[in-house]
Amino acid sequence: MRIRLGAIAALAVAAWLLPYQLNSYAMHVVNVMLLYAILSVGLGLCMGIAGQINLAQVAFFGVGAYATAVLTVKEGMGFWTAAVLALLATAAIGLVVGTPALRVQSHYLGIVTLGLALAFTNWVTNSTLAGGAEGIPGIPRPTLPGVDLSSDYLFYYVELALFAVTLVFGLFVVHTSLGRRMRAMRDDSLAAGAVGVEVPALRMTAFLLASVYGGVAGVLYSGLIGYVAPETFSIANMFLLLAMVIIGGRQSLVGCVIGAISLALVREVLIDYPTYAQVAYGTVVVLTVVFAPTGLAGLPVRLRGLLHRRTTATASSGLTPFRPYDPAGTTGEPDAPMLAVRDLSMHFRGVKALTEVSLEVPAGQIRGIVGPNGSGKTTLFNVVSGLYRPTAGRVVLDGRDVTAARPFALAHAGIARTFQNLRLFSALSVRDNVLVALDPTRASGTWRYLVLPVGVWRRDRALRREADALLDRFGLAAFADNLPTALPYGIQRRVEIARAMAARPRLLLLDEPAAGLNGDEVRQLCDIVRSIRDFGVTVVVIEHNMGMVMSLCDHVTVFAHGAIIADGPPAEVAISPEVIEAYLGESMAMPAPVASEVQG
Amino acid sequence: MQVFLQTFIGGMSLGAIYALVAMGFSLVYRTMGLVNFAHGSVVMIGAYIASTFYLSVKLPFALAMAVAIGVTGLIGIIIERVLRPLENKDFDLMLIGTIGFGIVLEALAIIIWGATGRAVPSPVPAAPIDLGGLRIRTYDLVVLAIAAAATALLVYFLQRTKRGAAMQAVAMDHQAATAVGIHVGRSNAMAFMIGAGLAALAGGLVGPLLYVSPAMGGLLGIKGFAGAILGGFGSIPGAILGGLGIGVIDSFAAGQFQGYSELVTFLIFTVIIMIRPTGIFGERTVNRA
């Protein structure tokens, strides 16, 4: 920490003294470089942190610059008034460009944003308002009382200050609630929704952030250069920006800055050979994605990983026993259904995964759901937790109709779940995984970042303590800083349950929690589930391990072919003829031709 | 009505080009789930090679085209080979990797052929056909015919040949395909090669319609991609319909909005994608949990 602070102080002093070492041309280059750094941080926030592919960053840059130009030159406004309006305009455009992200992701989003960026250049090249291909010259330099900003040297300090503010704000976002939720959404948007992250609102926030950063850079650009023209905001520059972020390391804002500065420097060195520079940075982009996907920023970690490869094998030794919850006694009326599913059907085109399923789970029960593979168990969970919108039927949670509500709304209403194939946020530490679920912050509270950053910080510290207490309860304290993918399978399973419990649910859905666990781990799991129930949480568990179902569950529901074929206490269900048939087949009536086909 | 039909037909020939580009996108996407953002640049390289061999080496147009297809096929194989470690792992990274290739290809084109473009004369210099008042350029008909033939060949390959069937199998389930002894890497390379070949075909054909320049790839690629998404990404008939659709939208937008045609085309495209992300023939993708 001390070393880091020292390094930051040294960098700040170097940045402060830099203009004294440079001639006016070099000063200009550095000024432009800083703009690229601001743009890269914005793009890094959107792409690297929130995982939203954004190929329109250069258009945000352009909107900021052009808006300032039009407002000052054509409308005769003062620079700073124009700057504020330009920022607002960019933010608005950012929200418009971000809307497709609500519907499409990944490559679709890439092409849509790229298309919109092209639409922007097309508009400015044709519009008379934007000066057409010639652009708008004669933008006045901004003025500050007492400072002569017409000098590139002094303008540098304005840029430097704004760069520092935007970088620090970006880092603050990344390391607190908002950034954590964005990273969770990037790693696994389904699981993020299931723990209560408002995915749509956060996607918009990501574009909003990117556009504001683009706007800041744009405003500064128009003030610095005094002239805007379409080619500055071309797709070629978009790809250059992308290369900066990728080469620097998209998941680290500092990496983005390093990428921006080094690429801008390289471009300056090769200024007489722009096409060769292009070949070079294109090649480096390809090499980066293949060999060092975390970019320059990820290199130290990778090198350390190579050196310490052998010492990570002993990870499982730190697991401590689960400390049971304090029993909460009875919550509400004992027999009121916590979950009621009524005539639920779910069809995927022709495939009927569920047909008119009805079941009720009373509060405080451990309900087992068993059935052969493909019998619709997980589909039921997916409908109840809001991943699928049912074809027909209703889902009622504690007397409230929650059919087809969004996953995050259901998480807020008190449903938590785990996934059959483990969906932990792979690039977040175990603590952060739990923190995302623990965090009650809503997207509507994002304004606090602007007004009350200290409050955000304090709240985050309190949450962190809570998360550590929870990890301690689940015996996971030793792994708080590990990445989940580095942990043994059994521990990952436990982390997922801890994460689900962090959301303080009333109803917990466990999808095959014992899959891949050994006998000892299964026993521990049973203890955990019982304690969770005693704590007042209703549990529904899908499981194939019949021994566990028999001993753990109060009541068992058996599925086959998307319908319920038996329902009752475990001992009764196990001897039901329908259940035996569903599991073992009707052995006596096995048709002969099937056997011969198998042989042939 | 006259104007409407004329605009429609005008859009068809560029639409056929977009359809070829879209088919290349779709073929690669369905086999390996990768969107090749370098595809537009491959189209541009194809256009340059075809025009170079046609204009400078004076080969017949068809032969020049064949050379272009061969060279770009090789480029396709190289791209696939380099990005193979990322296959089925991280699609976003792979997408960015192809953007990197696009940047390199475009710069190489500038180094080899210069930054200024060139015009390619039409290989069939006959006068336009007059059909009840509608004027149809003969070259447009050639483009449509070649595009149709290429589509037919591709469909035949995918459905009637063993290698084509193997590619389909990889598209459906690459693990199961490995299990039955299909070399997935080789199959993907083949998809990439054919995709690049289609790109060269599109590039060669578009030469006489547009101006051949290093910057042409971006727009052609994006519009072809838009066509592929419009039709339903990964679907071959969808790619054809989508490509033609984008061509026609483009042509009408150019008639109505002149300089702003691109703006309008992309706005329409964005709205369509938001309403129906899966396109016309697209499979409804289901989130698996």
Residue A300, token pair as written in the block: 């130290």
Q: Which among A186, A212, A233 is the end of a domain?
A: A233
| Residue A375 predicted with pLDDT over 90 | no
Best CA proximity match to A490, nearest among A478, A509, A476: A476
CA atoms of A417 and A195, how far apart (whole Å): 8
| Residue A26 predicted with pLDDT over 70 | yes
Which residues from B are below 8 Å from A102, CB to CB? 274
Classified as helix, coil or strand, A412 is: helix
Which residues from B are below 8 Å from A284, CB to CB? 100
| Residue A508 predicted with pLDDT over 90 | yes
| Residue A313 predicted with pLDDT over 50 | no
Best CA proximity match to B24, nearest among B239, B174, B203: B239
Nearest residue on chain B to A96, alpha-carbon basis: B270
> What's A474's DSSP letter?
T
Share of chain A above pLDDT 70, in %: 94
Burial of A4 (0-12, 13-18, 19+ CB in 10 A): exposed
Candidates B103, B219, B229; nearest CB to A278: B103
> What's B127's DSSP letter?
P
Indicate the length of chain B as a whole number.
289
CA atoms of B4 and B252, how far apart (whole Å): 8
Buried b / exposed e across A290-319, counting CB within 10 Å, b at 16+? bebbbbbbbeeeeeeeeeeeeeeeeeeeeb
Beta-carbon separation of A112 and B289 below 8 A: no
Confidence of residue A327 (pLDDT cuts 50, 70, 90): confident
Beta-carbon separation of A289 and B100 below 8 A: yes
| Residue A306 predicted with pLDDT over 80 | no
Residue A214, token pair as written in the block: 């683009």
> Residue A317 falls within a domain, yes or no?
no
Amino acid sitting at position A479: F
> What's A589's DSSP letter?
G
Q: What is the CA radius of gyration of chain A?
A: 29
pTM of the model: 0.88
Q: How large is the angle between the packed helices A519-534 and A489-502, nearest 10 degrees?
A: 10
Classified as helix, coil or strand, B243 is: helix
| Residue A596 predicted with pLDDT over 50 | no
Total domain count, chain A? 2
Best CA proximity match to B222, nearest among A546, A231, A238: A238
| Residue A593 predicted with pLDDT over 60 | no
pLDDT of residue B135: 79
pLDDT of residue B286: 38
Which residues from B are below 8 Å from A276, CB to CB? 107, 111
pLDDT of residue A465: 92
Element spanning A354, H or E:
strand A351-362
> Residue A463 falls within a domain, yes or no?
yes
Q: What is the mean pLDDT of chain A?
A: 86
* Better pLDDT: A228 or A306: A228
pLDDT in tens, B253-275: 888 877 788 888 888 888 888 88
Candidates A118, A288, A419; nearest CB to B262: A118
State how far the alpha carbon of A54 is from the alpha carbons of A44, A98, A172, in Å.
Answer: 10, 9, 21
pLDDT in tens, A461-489: 999 999 999 999 998 888 888 898 888 88
CA atoms of A511 and A513, how far apart (whole Å): 6
Beta-carbon separation of B107 and A275 below 8 A: yes
Pairing outcome for strands A366-370 and A538-542: parallel
Q: Which among A175, A199, A233 is the end of a domain?
A: A233
Beta-carbon separation of A283 and B100 below 8 A: yes
pLDDT in tens, B273-287: 888 777 777 654 433
Share of chain B above pLDDT 90, in %: 19
Beta-carbon separation of B83 and A290 below 8 A: yes
Candidates B83, B100, B225; nearest CB to A282: B100
CA atoms of A106 and B208, how far apart (whole Å): 35
> Residue A592 falls within a domain, yes or no?
no
> Residue A6 falls within a domain, yes or no?
no
Taken in order A347, A350, A351, A357, the sign of the CA dihedral is: positive
Beta-carbon separation of B289 and A381 below 8 A: yes
Element spanning A74, H or E:
none
| Residue B180 predicted with pLDDT over 60 | yes
pLDDT of residue A454: 86
Mean pLDDT computed over A91-110: 86
Which residues from A are below 8 Å from B107, CB to CB? 275-276, 278-279, 282
Q: Which among A233, A251, A269 is the end of a domain?
A: A233
Which residues from A are below 8 Å from B99, CB to CB? 239, 242, 285
pLDDT in tens, A138-178: 888 888 877 777 888 888 988 999 999 999 999 999 998 89
> Residue A267 falls within a domain, yes or no?
no
Mean pLDDT computed over A262-278: 87
Cβ-based contacts under 8 A for chains A and B: 145
Beta-carbon separation of B93 and A293 below 8 A: yes
Domain of residue A151: give its range.
31-233
> What is the predicted ipTM?
0.85
| Residue A332 predicted with pLDDT over 60 | no
Beta-carbon separation of A110 and B35 below 8 A: yes
Taken in order B91, B96, B101, B102, the sign of the CA dihedral is: positive
> Residue A292 falls within a domain, yes or no?
no
Question: Do A361 and A228 belong together in one domain?
Answer: no
| Residue A592 predicted with pLDDT over 80 | no
List the CATH number of the domain containing A450.
3.40.50.300
Classified as helix, coil or strand, B129 is: strand
pLDDT of residue A300: 83
Say if CB A435 and CB A463 are below 8 A apart. Answer: yes
CA atoms of A189 and A186, how far apart (whole Å): 6
Q: Which of B21, B26, B82, B92 to mutate to test the interface with A (most CBs of A within 10 A)?
A: B92
Architecture of domain B2-118+133-275: Orthogonal Bundle (1.10)
Measure in Å the smallest separation between the Cα of A17 and chain B Cα atoms: 36
Domain ranges of chain B: 2-118+133-275
Confidence of residue A594 (pLDDT cuts 50, 70, 90): very low
